[in-house]
Amino acid sequence: MSDETDPLVLFMPSGRRGRFARGTSLIAAARSLGVHVESVCGGRGICGRCQVEIVEGAFAKHKIVSAAHHLSPVSATETRYAEKRVLKSGRRLSCAATIEGDLVVDLPSDMAVNTAVVRKAVDTRVFPRDPAIRLLFVEVPEPDMHAPLGDLDRVFAALEGDWSLARPTVEHSVLPLLQKTLREGAWQVTCAIAHDHEEDRPHLLAIYPGLKNEAYGIAVDIGSTTIALSLSSLLSGATIAATGAPNPQIRFGEDLMSRVSYVMMNPGGRAEMTRAVREAVQAMIETVSAEANVSTADIMDCVFVGNPVMHHLFLGIDPTELGQAPFALALSGALALPAADLDLTLHPAARAYLLPCIAGHVGADAAAATLSEGPHRQDETMLLVDVGTNAEIVLGNRNRLLAASSPTGPAFEGAEISCGQRAAPGAIERVRIDPLTLEPRFKVIGIDIWSDDPGFADAAAALGVTGICGSGIVEVVAEMFLAGIVTEDGVIDGALAARTPRVVANGRTFAYVLHEAPQRTLTILQTDIRAIQLAKAALYAGIKLLIDRFSQPATADGLRSDPTVRIDRIALAGAFGSFIEPRYAMVLGLVPDCDLDRCKAVGNAAGAGARMALLNRAYRREIETTVSRIEKIETALEPAFQDHFVAAMAFPNKRDAFPALARVQALPNRDAAGMPLPGRSISASGTPDRGRRGGRAGRSA
Amino acid sequence: MSDETDPLVLFMPSGRRGRFARGTSLIAAARSLGVHVESVCGGRGICGRCQVEIVEGAFAKHKIVSAAHHLSPVSATETRYAEKRVLKSGRRLSCAATIEGDLVVDLPSDMAVNTAVVRKAVDTRVFPRDPAIRLLFVEVPEPDMHAPLGDLDRVFAALEGDWSLARPTVEHSVLPLLQKTLREGAWQVTCAIAHDHEEDRPHLLAIYPGLKNEAYGIAVDIGSTTIALSLSSLLSGATIAATGAPNPQIRFGEDLMSRVSYVMMNPGGRAEMTRAVREAVQAMIETVSAEANVSTADIMDCVFVGNPVMHHLFLGIDPTELGQAPFALALSGALALPAADLDLTLHPAARAYLLPCIAGHVGADAAAATLSEGPHRQDETMLLVDVGTNAEIVLGNRNRLLAASSPTGPAFEGAEISCGQRAAPGAIERVRIDPLTLEPRFKVIGIDIWSDDPGFADAAAALGVTGICGSGIVEVVAEMFLAGIVTEDGVIDGALAARTPRVVANGRTFAYVLHEAPQRTLTILQTDIRAIQLAKAALYAGIKLLIDRFSQPATADGLRSDPTVRIDRIALAGAFGSFIEPRYAMVLGLVPDCDLDRCKAVGNAAGAGARMALLNRAYRREIETTVSRIEKIETALEPAFQDHFVAAMAFPNKRDAFPALARVQALPNRDAAGMPLPGRSISASGTPDRGRRGGRAGRSA
């Protein structure tokens, strides 16, 4: 069809490219490459959804010199559109512009064609789009007594003719208003079509008179503690509002196990918790809709992720089975259902999609984080860790993926720590300890300056320094270790009490005084160090089990890691992972050795993955396939867990080398290659038995 | 796979056959031929649904000598089943019996395996079955921490393994109880699977612990006057109860146009009528369920048919467009939806299916009658007429089908006739007139003897002779014509007043006294004859338009019928069609000439077709395809209608020959070939203009 003299066109962000005869419309070129370019009006130049931007310049790698004038001159259609609506300078309508030379074409996601206000891009990541719900404008032939096809059947025929759409099934609510809508729109209507699975029949959700040019979707990460929700345009792909709110189920139990217990102990408890979370989601939907000036009736699609207990409770499923071996999920596969079945008031026919769960303790949130970070799309081996009270761990690359969860307990979230608290104003979040003076300085949430800056005392007196949050605990323990206050084995060195008043006796052990104030003295106790050791040893042992398995052929059981397994990247996800300093996580041995600049906090990866599944149905198929081939490891069943756990009680680890860390951070008791030097053995209080806290039944996340 | 020495097996009623190696199980043989044999347990010998009966004897046509001993001896599985349940003598389980010689196998539909009582076969017609909803028993592996697939996902895997079922979508209501059900059934469950379109994904409707061995469906014909409903087992195919009830919409208007007017005049009128018909259907469902000892929660599928106005009102669609040109249907295609959307309380996830409508005046009832009578399955050319206040007409054979409706008005139902009434006790339904004495004798609904039998007077005095129903009117007019009381042109011959006191003057015309009684004298007036002429002329003219078109190539317009078009069969459907005597219908010229023994009343063919669609999803596809290729003729648009109408005002017709009728019934003014002899021209009062009664806007059915 095309030869080497035809212009070469590259579409971003997908990177697909091809040669096309001069005069080919950009939208036709994109479609022939399988690049989704939104269009509601089907090339009539009235919806403005197919806007593109030409990236000018020489792209040596692609052998393309792209210039705006390699497109046809601005057409009458585009001028007409720009007069009626907004068409930013440099933007073209791909249905009206034709290819006349080499081009690099960008599909932007910040189009404002309607009243909905795009305040700011909440998520700036750009990825190819192809939403499961689309708006398709059609002109329908008027009724003809000689060919008495029904009005709906002529709509379907127009959809097939203009959009190559197979005959859809139809939402019953469409039928009563159909004839009125067609006549009101003078036989021009816009159909909202749900078409998640390409091989399924499409479904007609709604029909509007004339051109309907906006439809929205929400992506929701239901965490045990916090629900995060974002609102995106299904047409532009822009995420236009986002909000977070506490999960109201907290009143039934702080952690997952206590919520499962609540269900087991209280008839109606499951229904109460389901109602609570659904009502919270509905309230958040109304918040973001109001903020973005969007009608909730224009929200037509939703994607939900959450850990297995959250996932089940949201669906109205009793999570009791998840609280006891064999931790059987009611369903693990992805689920599509009407949003109304979840008691959500959106468009009455809105759809909902839940990502698959990976295993009994590795939920749809971990699947979404995987989708977002994409270890399965990489040649490099990535470790993805979502740290909560239950850590979800995914390890692998495009060839192989493994997943597990580790019962870290709530220490990383500030619970079980004597002066711990949730991340909130007044909480210490950053700590540095001078290795010579052993004096600390710290930063408090809500105060922009460090504790040794002038003016801190006044600010602190006004706000109050109330405790230490998760990232602060990790930092203070790591700094104590680096300063020699805490040994490799996690013991606060009482001998230092002679050197500094910061180290004080506390019964048979010692403590470190981080902050003294009239209201409250914040002290790190030996038991706090132990709590962090237990949590991080559980996390690290889980990671090690995955590394062990990764080093073995897929079909065999392995107990020891092959030293050839190299972790190229580490992604720390979730609220805790977003605030923790990767260097300290590695100093304490939460995660294995890795180049520090390749160990990154990735924020709410679960929410980002949910948004990807909302905006591109291909990502749904991708994560469904990926999850089905993930090898699941139940840490409770692995005999090597205990061995790894014991070694991981030490800072950073009794056995493993941290050569990459050692290059940028001197470590006590380590050689230049990051290998441990001979030291004391760890104390009895750090046995793995206590670390497992009675085994799986008592775990929580 | 098989050779000529392998046994030959013929399955009835499908007639499919093939050769199979000795030792092949009957169920496997059936399936390999595409013959649907019900089985819930999947060959475990516990559900008893795959029962068959061997038809013994020599079948020369098929070259088969079939004998019961050509099956393997009764197995332990069958003995065990027969001990626990009912296995009629001669019945075998096709999953347990293997082929050992030539066989003719019958798939019976009268199995009683459960508590539901099969009182009598309501519909005795036997046809191949393959319902859209099936019960599938599976044994599900227990949860495994090493392969943490969800419970539902393991159910799906078992369905795929045992039943080759693609991964289903799932009804949300299944999820909350799934885990409890699996454990209650000790990992044996029965899944109710909806799988209407083979190419769509199946849908899991419900799940039951252990073996669930009964599911039901209803087939409903919503007529303007009467609703007919039957209840069938989806597993045995037996129709186990049926009922009829007046359509409560009658209180909003007797005929269709008055109901459409009610909607147009009354805000909320559409909703009232929708509610009325849905409530009536629900009440009928409860009646048949109680009668058959079936739980309404076990009713999982429904099929509905009705004329376009009934179809739309039942779906909650405003029928206003159907009351005015161009008579646009909201939808003409078949529709599948949840029964709950129709406010029906059955199984909460029950499905509903509506057959396609053919045109604005030819509804899903006509489609169902077509499915039942099967002109499209025949080489012979069939005329199918459903006579109501609006006649729906289908003409054709396997090569070509045409459909139209004719505005007959309510005369055939006894309305617009001076002494007419609905068919009810006290109505005259049969009439004979002695051509010599001109004395009538008649039969009355509710009295078993004729009016000239001894004892009639007493019975008539007790019951009252109150009027004449539709079939009685046709008979009395036809007998008056045959006796010479009425001329070919429909004029009551006043000269006969001299011969008999039965003919009396009535203003400027004459009348015939059919019955004199103290309570009421029943007299046939000249206006009554005119009403019948108008009605039958409209019907016949519609039929003629179809014959005209049938004689022309499919693409061209034709005005005159090709004399080579021969109608091989006539099927008279509907309540009126069931009671009318075909001979009289032909004498009056309601229908064209045809061998009298091939002109048959077929009862409620629409209801029968609905039942076929209920019990075999292939019939749904068959009628969908058939309707899409039916050529629709809008009689109001055909210039030839008026010409045909004028000719059809005469008895039986001014122009057309009735040779087949003439062979068995001498006709006044006709030669031996049934050709009209020269006669008087028809009177001015029978103009087609009056016959159209102001055109389409005033039509009703």
pLDDT in tens, B224-243: 888 999 999 999 888 889 99
Q: Which residues does chain A have within 8 Å of residue B197's beta carbon, measured at their own beta carbons?
A: 201
Q: Which residues does chain B have within 8 Å of residue A337's beta carbon, measured at their own beta carbons?
A: 170, 172
Place of tokens 């008791």: A669
The C-alpha atoms of residue A63 and residue A71 are separated, in whole angstroms, by: 18
The answer to whether A333 contacts B360, with C-beta atoms less than 8 Å apart, is no
Residue A470 has pLDDT above 90, yes or no: no
Cβ atoms of B81 and B87 closer than 8 Å: yes
The predicted-structure confidence for A553-570, as pLDDT tens digits, reads as follows 765 444 444 556 889 999
The predicted-structure confidence for A34-63, as pLDDT tens digits, reads as follows 888 888 998 888 888 899 999 999 999 889
The answer to whether A328 contacts B143, with C-beta atoms less than 8 Å apart, is yes
Buried b (16+ CB within 10 A) or exposed e, A413-449: bbbbbbbbbbbeebbbbbbbbeeeebebebbbbbbee
Which distant-in-sequence residues (6+ apart) come within 8 Å of A302 by Cβ? A217, A218, A219, A220, A339, A342, A344, A346, A350, A351, A352, A353, A614
Residue A267 confidence class, pLDDT cut points 50, 70, 90:
very high
Find the closest chain B residue to A357 by CA distance: B150
Q: Percentage of chain B surpassing pLDDT 90?
A: 71
Cβ atoms of A335 and B174 closer than 8 Å: no
Q: CB-based burial of residue A15 (10 Å sphere; 0-12 exposed, 13-18 middle, 19+ buried)?
A: exposed
pLDDT at position A555 is 52
The predicted-structure confidence for B245-287, as pLDDT tens digits, reads as follows 999 998 998 888 899 999 999 999 999 999 999 999 999 999 9
Find the closest chain A residue to B638 by CA distance: A146
The answer to whether B179 contacts A153, with C-beta atoms less than 8 Å apart, is no
Place of tokens 């460090």: A450
Residue A674 confidence class, pLDDT cut points 50, 70, 90:
confident
The answer to whether B317 contacts A144, with C-beta atoms less than 8 Å apart, is no
Q: How far is B358 from chain A (nearest CA, A)?
A: 8
Find the closest chain A residue to B331 by CA distance: A150
Find which of A170, A329, A555, A621 to mutate to test the B interface (most B CBs within 10 Å of its CB): A329
The predicted-structure confidence for A340-351, as pLDDT tens digits, reads as follows 999 999 999 999
Find the closest chain B residue to A361 by CA distance: B148
Sign (positive or negative) of CA dihedral A17, A20, A24, A28: negative
Nearest-Å Rg of the Cα atoms of chain A is 28
Domain A8-106 sits in CATH at: 3.10.20.30
The C-alpha atoms of residue B92 and residue B82 are separated, in whole angstroms, by: 10
Q: What is B221-361's CATH topology? A: Nucleotidyltransferase; domain 5 (3.30.420)
Q: Percentage of chain A surpassing pLDDT 70?
A: 92
What Cα–Cα distance (Å) separates residue B84 from each residue in A221, B81, B137, B528, B636?
A: 53, 5, 18, 65, 63
Q: Which residues does chain A have within 8 Å of residue B636's beta carbon, measured at their own beta carbons?
A: 145
Is the bond preceding residue A143 a cis peptide, omega within 30 degrees?
Answer: no
Domain boundaries in chain B?
8-106, 133-209, 221-361, 368-409+531-698, 411-530
The answer to whether A331 contacts B169, with C-beta atoms less than 8 Å apart, is no
The answer to whether A176 contacts B325, with C-beta atoms less than 8 Å apart, is no
**What is the rounded average pLDDT for all residues in chain A?**
89
Q: What is B133-209's CATH topology? A: Ubiquitin-like (UB roll) (3.10.20)
The C-alpha atoms of residue A150 and residue A153 are separated, in whole angstroms, by: 5
Of the listed ranges A7-11, A117-121, B190-194, the least confidently predicted one is A117-121
Residue A389 has pLDDT above 90, yes or no: no
pLDDT at position A145 is 86
Residue A700 confidence class, pLDDT cut points 50, 70, 90:
very low
Find the closest chain A residue to B314 by CA distance: A176
Find which of B179, B187, B317, B557 to mutate to test the A interface (most A CBs within 10 Å of its CB): B179
Cβ atoms of A478 and A435 closer than 8 Å: no
Q: Which residues does chain A have within 8 Å of residue B142's beta carbon, measured at their own beta carbons?
A: 326
> Which of B144, B150, B331 is closest, CB to CB, to A331?
B150
The answer to whether A180 contacts B318, with C-beta atoms less than 8 Å apart, is yes
Residue A221 confidence class, pLDDT cut points 50, 70, 90:
very high
Q: Where are the alpha helices (DSSP H) in A632-672?
A: 640-648, 659-664
Q: Which residues does chain B have within 8 Å of residue A315's beta carbon, measured at their own beta carbons?
A: 172, 175-176
pLDDT at position A563 is 54
The C-alpha atoms of residue A416 and residue B449 are separated, in whole angstroms, by: 97
Find the length of chain A.
Answer: 701
Q: Which residues does chain A have within 8 Å of residue B316's beta carbon, measured at their own beta carbons?
A: 175-176
> Which of A143, A330, A337 is closest, CB to CB, to B152?
A330
The C-alpha atoms of residue B666 and residue B679 are separated, in whole angstroms, by: 16
The answer to whether A145 contacts B315, with C-beta atoms less than 8 Å apart, is no
> Which of B201, B329, B636 is closest, CB to CB, to A200?
B201
The answer to whether A333 contacts B167, with C-beta atoms less than 8 Å apart, is yes
Q: How far is A615 from chain B (nearest CA, A)?
A: 22
The predicted-structure confidence for B325-336, as pLDDT tens digits, reads as follows 899 999 999 999
Q: Which residues does chain A have within 8 Å of residue B354's beta carbon, measured at their own beta carbons?
A: none
Residue B664 confidence class, pLDDT cut points 50, 70, 90:
very high
Output the CA angle A334-A404-A673, nearest 5 degrees. 140
Phi and psi of B177, rounded to 5°?
-100, 0
> Which of B148, B358, B636 is closest, CB to CB, to A329?
B148
Instruction: Single out the residue of A413, A418, A523, A525 nearest to residue A470, CA to CA.
Output: A413
The C-alpha atoms of residue B551 and residue B564 are separated, in whole angstroms, by: 8
Superfamily of structural domain A114-354: Domain of unknown function (DUF4445) (3.30.420.480)
pLDDT at position B413 is 75
What Cα–Cα distance (Å) separates residue A687 from each residue in A426, A529, A650?
A: 34, 14, 12
Would strands B103-106 and B51-54 be described as parallel, antiparallel, or unpaired?
Answer: antiparallel
Find which of B331, B337, B392 to mutate to test the A interface (most A CBs within 10 Å of its CB): B331
Find which of B154, B182, B329, B357 to mutate to test the A interface (most A CBs within 10 Å of its CB): B329
Q: Which residues does chain A have within 8 Å of residue B201's beta carbon, measured at their own beta carbons?
A: 197, 200
The predicted-structure confidence for B46-66, as pLDDT tens digits, reads as follows 888 899 999 999 998 889 999
pLDDT at position B116 is 40
Q: How far is B370 from chain A (nearest CA, A)?
A: 18
The answer to whether A170 contacts B143, with C-beta atoms less than 8 Å apart, is no
Cβ atoms of B341 and B351 closer than 8 Å: no
Cβ atoms of B492 and B433 closer than 8 Å: no
Higher pLDDT, A558 or A634: A634
The answer to whether A178 contacts B150, with C-beta atoms less than 8 Å apart, is no
Residue A663 has pLDDT above 90, yes or no: yes
Phi and psi of B395, rounded to 5°?
-135, 135
Max mean pLDDT among A407-421, A684-698, B304-318, B687-701 falls in B304-318
Residue B682 has pLDDT above 80, yes or no: no
3-state secondary structure of A431: strand
The answer to whether B179 contacts A330, with C-beta atoms less than 8 Å apart, is yes
pTM over 0.80: yes
Asked whether this complex has an ipTM greater than 0.95, the answer is: no
The C-alpha atoms of residue A559 and residue A548 are separated, in whole angstroms, by: 6
Which distant-in-sequence residues (6+ apart) come within 8 Å of B203 by Cβ? B168, B169, B170, B171, B193, B194, B195
What Cα–Cα distance (Å) separates residue B204 from each residue in A351, B156, B317, B349, B617?
A: 18, 9, 29, 9, 17
Find the closest chain B residue to A318 by CA distance: B176
Cβ atoms of A674 and A659 closer than 8 Å: yes
Q: How far is A316 from chain B (nearest CA, A)?
A: 6
> Which of A150, A330, A337 is closest, CB to CB, to B332?
A150
Find the closest chain A residue to B320 by CA distance: A179
Find the closest chain A residue to B362 by CA distance: A148
The answer to whether A332 contacts B178, with C-beta atoms less than 8 Å apart, is no
Cβ atoms of A407 and A694 closer than 8 Å: no
The C-alpha atoms of residue A296 and residue A305 are separated, in whole angstroms, by: 20
The answer to whether A634 contacts B341, with C-beta atoms less than 8 Å apart, is no
Residue B395 has pLDDT above 70, yes or no: yes
pLDDT at position A110 is 62
The C-alpha atoms of residue A420 and residue A477 are separated, in whole angstroms, by: 13
The answer to whether B151 contacts A329, with C-beta atoms less than 8 Å apart, is yes
The answer to whether B178 contacts A331, with C-beta atoms less than 8 Å apart, is yes
pLDDT at position A677 is 80
pLDDT at position A554 is 63
What Cα–Cα distance (Å) separates residue A154 from each residue in A149, A178, A202, B364, B366?
A: 6, 12, 16, 18, 21
The predicted-structure confidence for A446-466, as pLDDT tens digits, reads as follows 999 999 999 999 999 888 898
Q: What is the mean pLDDT of the segment spanning A428-440?
A: 95
Cβ atoms of A674 and A667 closer than 8 Å: yes
pLDDT at position B4 is 80
The answer to whether B180 contacts A318, with C-beta atoms less than 8 Å apart, is yes
pLDDT at position B519 is 72
Asked if domains B8-106 and B133-209 share a fold, the reply is yes
Which distant-in-sequence residues (6+ apart) come within 8 Å of B469 by Cβ? B414, B420, B421, B422, B423, B424, B427, B428, B429, B445, B579
The answer to whether A179 contacts B153, with C-beta atoms less than 8 Å apart, is no
The predicted-structure confidence for B133-151, as pLDDT tens digits, reads as follows 999 999 999 999 888 899 9
Q: Which residues does chain B have within 8 Å of residue A175's beta carbon, measured at their own beta carbons?
A: 315-317, 330-331
Q: Which residues does chain B have within 8 Å of residue A149's beta carbon, measured at their own beta carbons?
A: 329, 332
Q: What is the mean pLDDT of the segment spanning A641-648?
A: 94
The predicted-structure confidence for B468-486, as pLDDT tens digits, reads as follows 988 899 999 999 999 999 9
pLDDT at position A262 is 95
The predicted-structure confidence for A77-120, as pLDDT tens digits, reads as follows 999 998 888 788 889 999 999 999 999 998 886 654 444 344 44
**What is the rounded average pLDDT for all residues in chain B?**
89
Q: Which residues does chain A have within 8 Å of residue B329's beta carbon, measured at their own beta carbons?
A: 148-151, 153
H or E element in which residue A81 lies: helix A76-84
